[in-house]
Amino acid sequence: MASDKVKAVNDADFDATTASDIPTLVDFWAPWCGPCKAIGPVIEDLAEEYAGKANILKMNVDDNPATPGRFGIRAIPTLILFKSGEVVDQVTGAVGKAQLSDLIKKAL
């Protein structure tokens, strides 16, 4: 679920949103996914920690099937880091905050 800190992105605005020079971490998730719910607070923390330095977004894969299909996402949660529209790195599964923070730092 998106919040004040973590914005929702959809198939229609995905390319424009990830084209930024600012690193953009996209959490591909679904409401029925237990591990997705488990990392939700971590995503919120990262959004707060990297406010102004990185964009943290969430995409509901049930509501937006085209974009996950384009990136070959077969398991969720999958988190993909973009910079200037290009994939920098990605991880799959409920990983810890330190690993996600390291991922973002690569693109800063």
Interval 51-61: pLDDT, tens: 999 999 999 99
- Parts of the chain with a pLDDT under 70: 1-3
Structure confidence at residue 62 (pLDDT)? 97
The identity of residue 31, as a single letter, is P
Domains and their CATH numbers in the chain: 7-107 (3.40.30.10)
85 is catalytic: no
Which residues in the chain belong to E strands, given as ranges?
7-8, 24-29, 55-60, 78-83, 86-92
Catalytic residue selected from 8, 33, 94, 95: 33
Catalytic residue selected from 6, 25, 26, 36: 36
Give SS3 for 31. coil
